[in-house]
A = this chain, B = another copy of it.
Amino acid sequence: MDYPRKTAPTDLPILEAFKERWSPLAISDQPVSDDKIQTLFEAARWAPSSYNEQPWRYVYATKNDGEARERLESLLLSGNAWARNAFLLAVSFAKKTFTFNGKENRHGLHDTGAASAYLAAQCPALGLVAHQMAGFKVDEAATLLGVPADFVAGSMIAVGYPDDPKDLDPKLQEREKTPRERKPQKEFVFRGKFQ
């Protein structure tokens, strides 16, 4: 069957991958091949970063990973319980300092956001969807996943094949159907000076 697609109603013709990327709540537990998983991280790998630091790290677990998977799921807030169903769960982390000189990298999260955005946009070409969450147990994530103190948690990411929304809680089914919206460009692009 065809699961929902929410092609972005763009004002100008942008990349198909960006039009088709969206963040559903219904994500399947159907296995995703290791090849596809590696392809997603490969897209993240080639994101640009300040001084090519590549500050991003990912810890992930699939439905087949037993305890490791339970650890990831334990970081979900109750509002994001829908994400338990997704075959893959990951958390991104950003290194706070530059490796070459130990100084603060103020772009750590900025560049990790770039990498995760490429991972998400790689999904449609593989028949997958990804949904990033900012709301998870951020303070516990690093400790639980063995991440050193020099890193800060970025987002939690649910990835998998799109699923039938009929098994979602009715309220979430409604949310899944809301139209996609963005501010018009005039509210965030300014020529010359901020208005």
Is the beta-carbon distance between A192 and B65 smaller than 8 angstroms? yes
Inside 8 A of A155's CB, which chain B residues have their CB? 50, 107, 110
Question: Known contacts being A65-B191, A110-B154, A113-B114, is A43 close to B15, with CB within 8 Å?
Answer: yes
Q: How many residues of A contact B (CB 8 A)?
A: 75
A190 at interface, CB cutoff 8 A: yes
A60 at interface, CB cutoff 8 A: yes
Is the beta-carbon distance between A18 and B122 smaller than 8 angstroms? yes
Question: For residue A19, which residue of chain B has the nearest CB?
Answer: B46
Inside 8 A of A54's CB, which chain B residues have their CB? 182-183, 188
A81 at interface, CB cutoff 8 A: no
Inside 8 A of A112's CB, which chain B residues have their CB? 110, 113
Oligomer copy total:
2
- Map CB proximity to B onto A37-51 as digits: 1 under 8 Å, 0 otherwise: 011011101111011
Bound Cα distance A58, B185 (Å): 10
A23 at interface, CB cutoff 8 A: yes
A13 at interface, CB cutoff 8 A: yes
A96 at interface, CB cutoff 8 A: no
Please pick, from B14, B35, B194, the residue contacting A12 in the complex, using a CB distance under 8 A.
Answer: B35
Bound Cα distance A15, B181 (Å): 25
Question: Known contacts being A17-B17, A114-B117, is A57 close to B191, with CB within 8 Å?
Answer: no
- List, sorted by A's number, 24 A–B pairs whose CB atoms are closer than 8 Å: A8-B46, A11-B42, A14-B43, A14-B118, A18-B46, A18-B121, A23-B48, A41-B188, A41-B189, A48-B120, A50-B132, A50-B134, A50-B155, A57-B188, A68-B192, A107-B109, A110-B154, A110-B155, A112-B113, A113-B113, A115-B117, A121-B121, A145-B194, A146-B194
The 10 A-B residue pairs with the shortest CB-CB distance in the complex, in nearest-first order: A68-B192, A113-B113, A114-B117, A110-B113, A50-B134, A12-B42, A146-B194, A109-B110, A113-B114, A14-B43
